[in-house]
Amino acid sequence: MEGYDDRLQLNRQGKEKVEHFEFSDRTKMTYPCDGEKLWVPISGHVVKLLIVQAIDRRLNPLSTLPPTDAPKIERNFMGIPRTV
C-alpha cells in the first residue's frame, strides 16, 4: 500500500493489477477539535495511515488502548468481576 497526495495505491497479494483510489481537492474529512468542527483535505497519505491504524487495532486490540489509572478489576475464571 502506497499513499500519495492525490491517491492511494494497493498492490494486494495474489492480484496482478494494482488498484488506484484517487482523491480530489474537494475530498474532505470532518472531525471535532476544541468544540469546533474542522474540515481537512483527504490525501492518500491520510487514508493509508487510517488503514494501518485500523489493521493494528484489529490485530492488537488491547495494546492500542490509551493507558488508564483505573484500578484493576479482579475476575473469576469465567471473566466475571469478583465482588468483595
Higher-confidence residue of 32 and 72: namely 32
Burial of 68 from C-beta contacts in 10 A (0-12 / 13-18 / 19+): exposed
Amino acid in the structure at residue 57:
R
Q: What phi and psi values does residue 14 have, to the nearest 5 degrees?
A: 85, 0
Where does the pLDDT of residue 30 fall: very low under 50, low under 70, confident under 90, or very high at 90 and above? confident
**pLDDT tens-digit map of 52-75:** 888 888 887 776 666 667 677 777
How much is the pLDDT for 63?
67
Amino acid in the structure at residue 28:
K
Q: Give the residue extent of every domain in the chain.
A: 2-59
pTM value is: 0.57
